[in-house]
Structure 1
């Protein structure tokens, strides 16, 4: 289903169950979104590669014929790191992996779900992930948070953070030197009180550190405190 002529923001639905895909597409249309549907995992990367303009978000089922959703999420993150992804899953045991232990999805929705919830979660992810502003103050020699655009810039370089990574960095940067436990960080990162393991926080911190290190290979600003958690400690 494609409504690109009538609305602006496009959502790519990757779902092999036609009834679910049609229902979600109808609700997206009612919510002011365009949608395009693919029902086979092998079609996703070629379709994205052919687009002159990427969709705003990919709604990606975990279990697909051909290439599975986990593999697709990983490849999309590598090729298009700022493209928002929400995973659809009936396998709760995969939640840690979906949220970032291996892949870095922006959010997940467990089946069965309400299509209204899907639309609401898409709006929430897009609000967080879309870069709509510029940092008010930057001299190109510091780590700057663009809170309107949900971006972090190191020496003027956009780190390409996911929404969860940005939230994690923002919490620590607002209290330099404060040690946050993993539980405290989870409470800030996931305001809906979802249950995830502490390993998920460790994975997000690892990815955040790696992205900062790409811009600042000689500097370390996120420090581990053994047995406790993490803190943001800028150099003197």
Structure 2
């Protein structure tokens, strides 16, 4: 007699759910090799919305461990799931030993599904490992933008002195690669996708070489509908 199936992969209907979950979790930990701390788990619930606050269904939310904010194929994937009709995605993953955890939101073509054509879905948010406190992930919501809503912001750094930018932060509606409560490296990554018709705030610090004194600066950048090149002279 054919054994009944539960509809979850190849596991039979009489397989206890606890056993099924344990097997999946074990496979997840083994697939990550030595890059995770198998004794710790992080709970993650992320809602994907558009700029009007509407839920986005079918976005692929992936959690990856990495040494920096990248979209590299070498980043270790810790877990991945599609957002549901309410835009919600819920995951538990082993805490990585790497310095950063990247949240990568893409459309479903990455896993053989249909593209969400009107949205520019590739978004990466870097989180430092130590920002995960009490087994909870600090990011609970990600906003994605339609392609027609975005334009380009490029930074041009003009160094006329023996100085360097030691830290920088952007505050505004950003797409593509960004940070969670962290510094932006404007020299290594000068190009950003930003929402049109807004004011982006830039906060940065400059230090003269050989000095321990830093000077803080703030600039407001007006974004219209066309690409913007913003010069920083230090």
Larger fraction in helix: 1
Larger fraction in strand: 2
